[in-house]
Amino acid sequence: MSAARADTAGHTGGQVDAAQTRRLIDRARAVCEHPGWDEFVAAAQVALCELFAAERAWVRSAGQVDDPQGPGDGRTLVVPVVGVAQPLAVLIIVRDAGGPPFSSADERRAALFASLCASTLTRLRLEQGLAARTPGGGAEGTEIFRAEAVRHHAGGELAEGVLLRLSPRASGQALRLVAFMGVATVSFAAFVQIDEYASGPAVVRIEGRTTLTAVEPMTVAAVLVQPGQRVTSGQVLVRFVDEQERAQRDRVVREFDAQLVKMLADPTDPSPRTLLMKLRADRDYAERRVEARQLRAPHDGVVSDLRSWPGQLIPAGAPVCTMTSPGSSLSLLAFLPGQSHPLLEKGQDLRLEVSGFPHAYQTLKVDFIGDDTVGPAEIARYLGPDLADTLRLSGPVVVARASLPSTTFESRGSTFSYHDGMQGLAEVAVRREPLALTLFPALRAVFRGAP
């Protein structure tokens, strides 16, 4: 775009309404009767800037105002330079009278140039304002910014950054490192094997353990043994209250003896003989009732648990004490998910972690797998009343059994003994496959021919 003259009028800020603008323009026209561009700018810059910023329009004014140094008959294009919500300057472009008039394209080019200048002028105004507030630039105590912040902005930190420069050698090394990591990751996923486990609760049981229960509701009269005591077969362990049974037995015995005397006194009388047969059956029944009030050891062994004390009322079927046979072994009953039943086999490794002893793993061999998959109710019946309510099973399970090679186990440098009823977590590895197949199951169709 061609022009004879161009200049800018700067603006320092402030608000001027339309009436003030017109008065200032008239004043500018009067000043322009005297030579000198500086006097024109001093009078007209505020008026023109505020007017252009408010109206956002192209303004063509009189020649004496726009072009005081020219003949006054030129063609003038005035464009505002507007920053963020405030005017910054005025761009005045003059063509000679013989030149073509300013077109819409010329106006758009001038507006584009003014918008490009706006950012530079904004930055210059900011730097001038910061420089004015540097220490020593004003009265003491009037600065609103910290001295460190002012020095930071005045020290050129507002300059744009430079482009990131990358070394070709560093780029090649990074590419080789990424390729190596990719190959290592693929190799790891292809060759590392991942085990799939069937896990479930497990219970320690003592083989040859006998639980002695009450045959009917009875009250304990005396406990004759202690836990850990060795007993022989037939030895009385617990005696129950039996006064009524003994009294009934003694009465029947007396009647039997009386009828026996009558029969011996008169052998020809048949009535005593018939009564003796009935009394003999009653006497035997009374003897069995008295004997039932004593709990005897069914075999030689050791008393392992006593659950009764004198004066206790024991309901029918409730456990009274337990015994273990000499040389009893320990076994582990594991209750594994029923869906893993087809994958379980004898001889598989079973890993046991006893509850309360984390990371104290014991490796056992599975020596029995149940034929059926059963529910929680059947497992409760299988465990008996002692442990029926200690396990929380939520679905069908299969029973697996493994023998414990020792009666003790180690944890954190100490040795502990197994006890009947101890629980833990049992895990059996039922399947093994590469990590890649676990992460991407669709690959099974490629490597195995089936999903």
Do 367 and 413 have their domain in common?
A: yes
Do 351 and 388 have their domain in common?
A: yes
Do 251 and 314 have their domain in common?
A: no
Q: How does pLDDT run across 268-303, given as a tens digit for each residue? A: 777 877 888 888 888 899 999 999 899 999 989 999
Q: How does pLDDT run across 238-271, given as a tens digit for each residue? A: 999 989 989 999 998 898 888 888 888 888 777 8
- Whether 223 maps to a domain, the answer reads yes
Q: How does pLDDT run across 249-258, given as a tens digit for each residue? A: 999 889 888 8
- Phi-psi bin for 202: left (phi > 0), alpha (psi -120 to 50), beta? beta
- Domain end marker among 99, 116, 132: 132
Q: Domain tally for the chain?
A: 4
- Domain end marker among 132, 163, 178: 132
Do 300 and 383 have their domain in common?
A: no
Report residue 423's pLDDT band, with 50, 70 and 90 as the boundaries. Answer: very high
pLDDT value at 127 more than 60: yes
> Which pTM does this prediction carry?
0.50
Do 298 and 349 have their domain in common?
A: no
Q: Among 201, 418, 426, which residue's Cα sits nearest to residue 324? A: 418
- Whether 116 maps to a domain, the answer reads yes
pLDDT value at 154 more than 70: no
- Whether 138 maps to a domain, the answer reads no
Q: How does pLDDT run across 39-87, given as a tens digit for each residue? A: 444 444 444 444 444 443 333 444 444 455 556 566 777 777 777 656 6
Nearest-angstrom CA–CA distance, 373 and 20? 99
How high is the pLDDT of residue 85?
Answer: 56
- Domain end marker among 81, 102, 132: 132
Do 262 and 370 have their domain in common?
A: no
Please give the residue that has the higher pLDDT: either 158 or 391. 391
pLDDT value at 332 more than 90: yes
Q: How does pLDDT run across 75-125, given as a tens digit for each residue? A: 777 777 777 656 677 777 777 777 788 788 888 888 888 888 877 777 777
- Whether 438 maps to a domain, the answer reads no
CATH number for the domain harbouring residue 219: 2.40.50.100
CATH number for the domain harbouring residue 120: 3.30.450
- Whether 143 maps to a domain, the answer reads no
Do 218 and 284 have their domain in common?
A: no
pLDDT above 70: percentage of residues in the chain: 74
- Whether 123 maps to a domain, the answer reads yes
Pair of tokens at residue 107: 């106006």
Do 284 and 256 have their domain in common?
A: yes
State the residue range of the domain holding 269: 242-288
Do 304 and 333 have their domain in common?
A: no
Do 264 and 409 have their domain in common?
A: no
Do 121 and 36 have their domain in common?
A: yes
Residue 319 contacts residue 307 (beta carbons within 8 Å): yes
How high is the pLDDT of residue 369?
Answer: 92
Do 284 and 309 have their domain in common?
A: no
pLDDT value at 165 more than 80: no
- Whether 137 maps to a domain, the answer reads no
How high is the pLDDT of residue 43?
Answer: 42
pLDDT value at 20 more than 50: no
- Whether 185 maps to a domain, the answer reads no
